[in-house]
A and B are shown apart, each in its own frame.
Chain A
């Protein structure tokens, strides 16, 4: 048993933190958040050049071949900034899907371009009248010779506005397993993307109008997708959790600091027990998120069955990040909602990522499906 980071993981963490301090301090990120794209090329290039972007991608496809926990250390540090950009959507989620669902030829074609940052990918599943989950995939392409023709809408697709490809989940038949994934080039005529305004991060809509996609864009074989996609989602989800853990850690750090600096009624507010209670609840959510996440990552790295742990981690972490921000706002009061202070960068993400890859309710439902099979020693 050893719950510490290895020396190389600590160095990795330090290098991300150094980069953030140099290139992406919080006031820079507050400004970036206002821009149409939401991130900039310096950030993107660095993520690619340092290998963070493709670190989970196997070496033979141009990636770093890192373990899940190594990558999580990086994603936690990115979440602590919080660093924006499609790193997770492209380098983790899409790359995992291509790696597990795609053919060898497709892996060789797409993964190196993702690892180098040359190509940005994302994954589209949710449709307007359905929630997260494969049951909700209803978009059914028409076949026309060597093409599929797509009509419809995908919603709440993270980073679609910046993506070169959207891996689009479609229905290929009426059976449960009749799911296909199409590697759709966003420059295809009839496809438009639009970032959704509001208290969101990078959620976008993708509209398909008579969009013709070559049949070669189908990842893997029709009908053979479900298990491989599930594997990819199980692998990717804890990395998103690590990003959320980093965010929750940051709002904890901010809250403790503020509790020392802010003086009211002649003493630091952290001396008031109501304020202390907010931070106690915050750190409990943070640590629950942290340890469920890292245990799931350890299970993946050590080849253990991780499904239950992954659902547990995402449920606990998404709830935890959201709650952590709520408590941080109780501590900070007015200061917390001033844009330049930076707390709301996290709050926005805590909301936006709450439902990414399924809201906590979805993961609790999956646990409920599995509950009879959970054997604890």
Chain B
């Protein structure tokens, strides 16, 4: 076994190239990372990365991706991570998940038309999944799409959508045959955000969804007789559940990750800096025990993500691993917030300008760990999927959704 990515001399040369490029192009940001001004800078960085194929490094080159091998992609992620930034450096999980789904289910014409804007950073895409009536029961959506000539007319409502800074396009799953059998009555559409009849309204929630930089607020999106070209139906009419199986699989964590949760490093730094009862907090044995609690949880989470990353990129058959990683991350997030609370006491809850030493991150995490229980499927839904994939109480094991062509 080898738990470390290994690099060829070419890949190491690529690292030098990336490092030099990033030091030249990295924008100067300050204050609230989610501010409009910073967002504009990160969007520009995204477009610049996109021009080089570095925004979607492993996506096929002919559709605007980088066509890079896995190790080179890891190099890119690592170098961006050195600046504390993901790729893309803003919230665009709709582009990631939607792009992957179109790659699997789109026609050649759709791939050529829809993928390059996503992969080059021209557009930001939001996924619209949950509805007021359909959360965990996603297939029970009551957002309808009715065929009318060369268009579909969409009516309905989706919630917990997107972030603070708007999007250029949405994709969503709709009901195209209200009388059809469950899972066989749904269709998947890419929808330009500026079509008449679309209204976006921010929701008031506990905190951001913990989905990375710029996730910010969540929104409700209303569809009132929105006319979408039939050419934007991906995967065929009433085949939407198949298309969804791809992005749901990825969203459930089967894509994995090579990164790690930063809370151990942060907590360790603060424990060294903060004085309590006349000594640095780190000198308190109880505090060190809590740091170990955080360390153990983040290590397990990291290893689950790493395993999934390796399985996904080397096309190993996967079953329960995605939802397992997702479930563990959600639940360990709550445990980590408790350990942080125990470590730092009331400081863990305040973002007061004078007394908070964490630049608001501790307060935000106490909330976002709770919010993070639902995106991409609730913790309970992850367990339900694991049960099917493991084959509990049944001989037939449900297979994982198709994530590559």
Contact = CB atoms under 8 A, between A and B. Distances in A.
Interface of A: 1-5, 69, 256, 259-260, 267-273, 275-277, 279-280, 283-284, 287-288, 291-292, 294-295, 297-299, 302, 312, 315-316, 364, 367-369, 371-372, 374, 376-377
A270 B393 CA distance: 4
Contacts, number: 133
B395 interface: yes
Q: Is the interface of B mostly helix, strand, loop or mixed?
A: helix
Interface in B1-43: 1-6
A367 B384 CA distance: 35
A3 B306 CA distance: 9
B383 A276 contact: yes
A292 B316 CA distance: 20
A377 B299 CA distance: 12
Given A267-B393, A279-B392, A288 B300 contact: yes
Counting chain B CB atoms within 10 Å of each CB, the highest count among A5, A280, A367 belongs to A280
Contacts of B310: 1-3
Interface residues of B, number: 44
Given A368-B291, A376-B264, A376-B265, A283 B1 contact: no
B391 interface: yes
B324 A315 contact: no
B139 interface: no
Interface of B: 1-6, 71, 260, 264-265, 268, 272, 282, 285, 288-289, 291-292, 295-296, 299-300, 303-304, 306-307, 310-311, 314, 316, 320, 324, 327-328, 383-384, 386-387, 390-395
B338 to A, nearest CB: 17
Contacts of A291: 300, 303-304, 306-307
A361 B278 CA distance: 28
A280 B327 contact: yes
B386 A312 contact: no
B1 A2 contact: yes
B295 A284 contact: no
A256 B299 contact: no
B4 A371 contact: no
A2 B5 CA distance: 8
Contacts of B5: 1
Counting chain B CB atoms within 10 Å of each CB, the highest count among A275, A288, A369 belongs to A288
A367 B295 CA distance: 9
Contacts of A364: 289, 292, 296
A305 to B, nearest CB: 13
B384 A276 contact: yes
A297 B383 contact: no
B268 A1 contact: no
A288 B300 CA distance: 6
Contacts of B384: 273, 276
B394 A4 contact: no
Contacts of A259: 392-393
